[in-house]
Amino acid sequence: MADESRFPHDDQPAVESDEHAAERLATPEQWAAMTFAPVLIDLNKFGAAWEQARGVVARTAIELLRLDDRALTSHFMAQDAPLMEPMETYRALQDEVEYLKTHMEALETASTRMLCVASRCVERRSS
């Protein structure tokens, strides 16, 4: 029950960020006029090992989320060292959160670039 307070209720209006409000104010023509340079990224950093690491953490989170508090407690209490595994899992999840924060700006930039390109495509089709 305590988790419910972290999520907005359906009857409350969603809070819009300043960034999203600004995006709505730009016209398709303004988005189409924006320019950007390429970002040099070593694709080798994002190979099979990277995908495996992200997948392991995602699967762990899914397994944890599928259990209620009693089942999760029982799972860890059944371990030889009941405190060790949850603390290691906690640290791994927190490390992943911090890692993903470093990628949020890149994802936002890529998303904005797609909006620019989509605006150009709309502008071209209407010409």
Q: Quote the pTM value.
A: 0.61
Q: Is residue 6 part of a domain?
A: no
pLDDT in tens, 19-46: 665 556 788 888 888 898 998 989 999 9
Residue 5 is assigned to a structural domain of this protein:
no
Q: What is the mean pLDDT of residues 70-90?
A: 92
pLDDT in tens, 98-122: 999 988 988 999 999 999 999 888 8
Please enumerate in sequence order all residues whose Cβ is within 8 A of that of 113, keeping only pairs 6 or more positions apart, or say none: 36
In this structure, how many other beta carbons lie within 10 angstroms of the beta carbon of residue 35? 5
Our count of domains for the chain comes to 1
Whether residue 70 is contained in a domain is answered as: yes
Query: Within a domain: residue 27?
Result: no
Confidence band of 70 (pLDDT split at 50, 70, 90): very high
Structural domain includes residue 11: no
Max Cα separation, the chain? 70
Domain containing residue 127: 48-127
Q: What is the mean pLDDT of the chain?
A: 83
